[in-house]
């Protein structure tokens, strides 16, 4: 049993266990968030502010639901097809093919992929339905939907929501001079409170459980690079939806060591 299993099991327990938990209906595929985003942009250019808000908020919710569904399926299938289970009768080598354990590992990879595909199909519909262009994906990474939302909320005089949307966008785009000026203007407006300056993209505490499991596994492997099972688990984590490169932390690294590495050009990806 892996030393970080308690962390991983906690991550599983904190994620949705069923389609109902993530507010998805298996009979109705999740509406693609890129389509909702396009509808919101069209409404923006004709000044239909309520439609901007309706479609953009739904786009953000559906993108989040899609991410949670993928993470749920990955963890569910990982629990059902664990790499830690030994396959009986294996251990001898096949000429030119490496250890038979490798065949068992790839068999589990295929089984897990099939499990994930079936799970995602049930919860959000065909994968092709949710394939978005790189341009749209970039706009969401830049938090552009919040730029449109802050204008739309301001137009209908929902200042607290306009401020939160503006602040959320600015956190990801600190070089955006116009948004900085908007935030300064909001600070001077009557009725706007400091608590309105929220980050609406801040990750909930529960979602961070998976990040902690990845960081724990990576920290262990750095100290034990000969540990084959942990290497295989790290490779699997890299394929999981919702896991980012920045999650592979060394929890034992000293802050000054991290700063030195970040300044070293040879350590840049």
- Asked, for residue 120, whether it belongs to a domain, the answer is yes
- 56-114 tens-digit pLDDT: 999 999 999 998 888 888 888 876 655 444 444 444 444 455 555 566 667 777 888 88
- Asked, for residue 216, whether it belongs to a domain, the answer is yes
Phi then psi for residue 204, to 5 deg, are -60, 155
- Asked, for residue 182, whether it belongs to a domain, the answer is no
- Asked, for residue 166, whether it belongs to a domain, the answer is no
Q: Where are the beta strands (DSSP E) in 90-221?
A: 93-94, 98-99
Mean per-residue pLDDT over the chain, rounded: 77
For residue 219, the enclosing domain spans 5-86+99-143+201-267
- Asked, for residue 12, whether it belongs to a domain, the answer is yes
Are 126 and 29 a contacting pair, CB within 8 Å?
yes
- 3-36 tens-digit pLDDT: 343 444 344 344 333 333 344 555 567 899 999 9
Are 230 and 197 a contacting pair, CB within 8 Å?
no
**What is the DSSP secondary-structure string of 159-200?**
HHHHHHHHHHHHHH-TT-HHHHHHHHHHHHSTT--GGG---T
- Asked, for residue 158, whether it belongs to a domain, the answer is no
Question: Locate tokens 């309706």: which residue?
Answer: 54
- Asked, for residue 65, whether it belongs to a domain, the answer is yes
- Asked, for residue 114, whether it belongs to a domain, the answer is yes
Q: Where are the beta strands (DSSP E) in 83-221?
A: 93-94, 98-99
Q: What is the mean pLDDT of residues 38-62?
A: 97
Give the global pTM.
0.61
Number of domains in the chain: 1
Short-list 62, 65, 63, 72, CA closest to 17: 72
Q: Distance from CA of residue 222 to its chain's centroid?
A: 24
């Amino acid at each position: 049993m892996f030393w970080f299993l308690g962390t991983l099991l906690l991550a599983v327990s904190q994620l949705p266990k069923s389609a109902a938990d993530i507010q998805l209906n298996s009979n109705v595929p999740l509406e693609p968030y890129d389509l909702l985003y396009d509808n919101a942009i069209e409404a923006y250019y004709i000044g239909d502010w309520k439609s901007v808000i309706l479609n953009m908020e739904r786009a953000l919710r559906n993108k989040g639901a899609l991410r949670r569904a993928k993470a749920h399926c990955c963890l569910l299938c990982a629990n059902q097809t664990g790499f830690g289970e030994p396959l009986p009768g294996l251990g001898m080598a096949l000429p030119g093919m490496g250890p038979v354990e490798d065949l068992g590992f790839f068999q589990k990879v295929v089984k897990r992929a099939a499990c994930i595909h079936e799970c995602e199909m049930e919860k959000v519909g065909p994968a092709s339905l949710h394939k978005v262009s790189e341009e749209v994906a970039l706009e969401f990474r830049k938090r552009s939907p919040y730029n449109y939302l802050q204008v739309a909320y301001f137009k209908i005089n929902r200042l607290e929501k306009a401020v939160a949307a503006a602040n959320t966008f600015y956190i990801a785009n600190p070089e955006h001079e116009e948004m900085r000026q908007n935030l300064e203007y909001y600070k001077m407006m009557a009725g706007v409170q400091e608590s309105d300056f929220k980050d609406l993209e801040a990750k909930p505490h529960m979602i961070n459980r998976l990040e902690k499991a990845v960081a724990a596994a990576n920290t262990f492997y750095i100290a034990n690079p000969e540990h084959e099972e942990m290497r295989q688990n790290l490779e699997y984590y890299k394929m999981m939806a919702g896991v980012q490169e920045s999650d592979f932390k060394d929890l034992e690294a000293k802050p000054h060591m991290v700063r030195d590495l970040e300044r070293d050009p040879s350590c840049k990806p």
